[in-house]
Amino acid sequence: MATLARNLDSIIAHMRGVVDAVADEAEERAARIRAVAAAHQRSGRFYASIKTAPRGPDTLIYSDDPAALSINYGHRAPDGRMVPGIHAFEAGLT
């Protein structure tokens, strides 16, 4: 009778080919995020802040711009009006 390794998911996740495929997918998604950011940029800081980094078998897509949350999701301007977000990171989900 066949047996199944309890940690099979971890074994597969750490295979070089799988790690490379995950990294490639993350780069494609980061490119979609950057495309949305490029269409809305003023200074280019948010666009330039979108990066990828390996984290074990995964790849993280992130922004190190201090205003990333406000840019992506929106914020209230000093005069009280609502400034809509550009929802760039959501573009990376599709």
What pLDDT was estimated at residue 40? Answer: 87
Query: Is residue 3 domain-resident?
Result: no
Query: Is residue 2 domain-resident?
Result: no
What pLDDT was estimated at residue 23? Answer: 98
Reported as a single tens digit per residue, the pLDDT across 37-89 is: 999 878 899 999 999 999 999 999 999 999 999 999 999 999 999 999 999 99
* Total of domains in the chain: 1
Nearest to 85 by CA among 58, 63, 55, 60: 63
What pLDDT was estimated at residue 1? Answer: 79
Give me the domain span that covers residue 58.
8-91
Query: Is residue 1 domain-resident?
Result: no
Nearest to 37 by CA among 27, 46, 29, 26: 46
Query: What sign has the CA pseudo-torsion 88, 45, 26, 24?
Result: positive
Query: Is residue 85 domain-resident?
Result: yes
pTM of the predicted structure, to 2 decimals: 0.85
> Tokens 């494609």 identify what position?
28
